[in-house]
Amino acid sequence: MRYLMMIAGLESALPSDEEVVADPAHGDWLREMRRRGVLVTAARLRGSEDATSVQVRDDAVLIADGPFAESKEQIAGFALLDCRDLDEAIEVAAAHPVARVGVIEVRPLWE
């Protein structure tokens, strides 16, 4: 079953690009999940200041800078997982280094 793992947290508390590259835990997680065959793809997102929100209301396209959600925590990255069940997806998410400073939401995809 496929799951989307959304990595979120306070942007000020999340590791910077430089810290991610320098921290072997991130590379170790990627290598281990690829070895296990559960990681389909993953990517880090640019900061919320680079987000654009798009809505359509009464046939008008409304565009706003920044994320749509009014929240202190922002999505910083994602991973698409192919796990045998939710228990394995939770185990994979708990092993991600950002789980120690942020929050990781695991959500099943409609197949």
pLDDT in tens, 41-58: 999 998 888 888 888 999
- pLDDT for 18-44, tens place per residue? 888 899 999 999 999 999 999 999 999
The predicted model scores a pTM of 0.85
Question: What fold, for 2-108?
Answer: Alpha-Beta Plaits (3.30.70)
Residues 6+ apart with CB under 8 A from 42: 30, 77, 78, 79, 80
- 28-33, long-range: CB < 8 A, 24+ apart: 29/95, 29/96, 29/97, 32/95, 33/79, 33/81, 33/92, 33/95
Domain ranges of the chain: 2-108
